[in-house]
Structure 1
Amino acid sequence: MFKAILGAAAILSLGSAALAQADTDDARWSIAIHGGAGTINRDKITPEQDATIRAALSEALAAGSKILKDGGKAIDAITATIMILENDPNFNAGKGAVFTWDKTNELDSSIMDGSDLSAGAVAGISGTKNPILLARAVKDKSPHVMLSGAGANQFSREQGLQQVTPDYYATPYRLQQIEDVLAKKVSVADVDYKYGTVGAVAMDQEGHMAAGTSTGGMTGKRWGRIGDSPIIGAGTYADDRSCAISATGSGEYFIRLGVAHEICARIRMRWPIAIAEAQLTVPKDEEGNYTYAIHASEFMLSDEEIQQIADDVIAELGELGGDGGIIYATPWGQAGYSFNTAGMYRGRATSEGEQSVSIYGDED
């Protein structure tokens, strides 16, 4: 993989090697996942919980990786990955979703395909087992981008998606949380010391990007509150020309900054500038013409540049007062994350052999 700023000697040596690399690069793929961010410290998680969370992340990561490795689409990989996380009560999405002030569940989800910028989202829904499937149905089978509440629930039933009764989402842990909030034993801020939203981003072997996010929202939320997870451009965004992003954290701040789109836009704007900068390092002939023209197909932004862009946006989020993080995938096969909290449930895998799951901030 080519680095962002190539020296003149390296540029001149590309030749047929660059073309050969381009041929093999078609097999590249990458995926990153998250299960929420927040005050995730070792003293707040038992060894058993640590092991369970890592196993759940690993299972989801393996499912998405297999689809990508077998040549499947990024949109299918993230759908399968998020479904596994929605079915796991350790996360605040699907089964195990938090309760509202009225002791109901209102779930949000969104999905986006970077190949054509098609997107689907749902907000404040209930009754659908896997909200990510409803978001995808909105994208694939309706003329709309977002549906909400009763209308979205009706659309889900019409599409034949698996329905569940309200007790499906409930877990003893989540019920105790809302009971403590209503009894004023703890504040909502104390309950939501971590954001259990789940998400996945991926690049497939065709170079197409996809992103998806799913959540139960905030414990004790009222008045139909909706966070960033179902909002395209805030909690989810994918564009083949730049990146795929899924976010988790204090949604109001992600909405205000448009975090997901902001990161993708900065990457998209930075790439041609970096190519132009690299071109300036190429030697010129006696007539002042460049001896080699750098082509976009043999050029990528470096790992460091991608990470810096993501970190800069998350730093701005923090300056506004927001907590949380994002995962990213790029058209060049990179997968990673950025967060300003103590930890984030996360994982990533690539065709180049990277495969890891992490929880705490001091892990790679």
Structure 2
Amino acid sequence: MEKKIAVIRGDGIGVEIVNQALRVLDKIAEKYGHTFRYVDVTAGGCAIDAFGEPLPEKELQKCLDSDSVLLGAVGGPKWDTLEGSQRPERALLGVRQALGLFANIRPSCLFKALENACPLKQEIIEGGLDLVIVRELIGGAYFGKREILQTEGGKTAYDTMIYSEMEVERIGRVAFETARKRRGKLTSVDKANVLESSRLWREVMHRLKDEYPDVEYSDMLVDNTAMQLVRNPGQFDVIVTENMFGDILSDEASMITGSIGMIPSSSLGEGSRGMYEPIHGSAPDIAGQNKANPIATILSAAMMLLYSFDAPQECRDIENAVEKALADGYRTGDIMSEGKKLVSCSEMGDIILANL
């Protein structure tokens, strides 16, 4: 195959981790006879510094003209005082919206080699941890109307959480289909005891579940879900929820796996094109020091091969190479434990390449 990939290295450790993922993709291309062409896209804080805005139109167009997008990380304290619409994170929202990427798929799987890194008690994780969070990505409070008003009593701010039936139905179908391909269990998370948007969410999901009688369906309130993820994470297979709840719960679920630096994600729309990124941030405290964990970004590249390029064997090759590196005792600083071998970001890339 021949594919054009838009590459957003972004800020902080983004450059380091993306470089390792590209090395892995190049090895896969060599092994299978594929051709991957990379187009650099400047977005995030570095775009603010270079162009005065987080996502210039010409940079967004590069994403629209590509077969898929690979992202490292954006943001950092340098830009924290900027007005909301000019912050680096707006670049992510802009790409998601322009590409119509409404479904974020975030797997949380505890590698056997990292069981000791899990912060939960051993008896809690004995049943294993292997779940997927399907998060609606371009609706809800993050994309609703927002404003800060000057009133007599001082400033007043509001954000609106808006969902239509169509938006709930399309993410619901992604979740049901994902559950069908896994263990056939779906938990829909909302706050229907308080929020009108959640009541609509539940109404639509209940209508959909009749179309998927082979999937075991249940509802759960978001606060209970947060508790259950640390009480008994093995009970979950696929979780589907709205944008803000999914943002919070997926970070919680990732930490249960031992490190947020291990978790990839994919953002998908109606077609095959998607955006693939680790769920962690730009980690400016270690940027440029060759200390970052590149595994989440490498696994994000593997997800790209699976979901956008229909290359399941290539995806499995990468996953197996990562699993072997961990099983052989190699660790970056975030997952280091006694008796293991501490390696740098680039050294972890070397090891995974050797396994490929």
Greater RCO, CA 8 A, separation 6+? 1
User: Which structure has the larger Rg over C-alpha atoms?
Assistant: 1
TM-score normalised by L of structure 1: 0.27
The answer to which structure has the higher helix fraction is 2
TM-score normalised by L of structure 2: 0.28
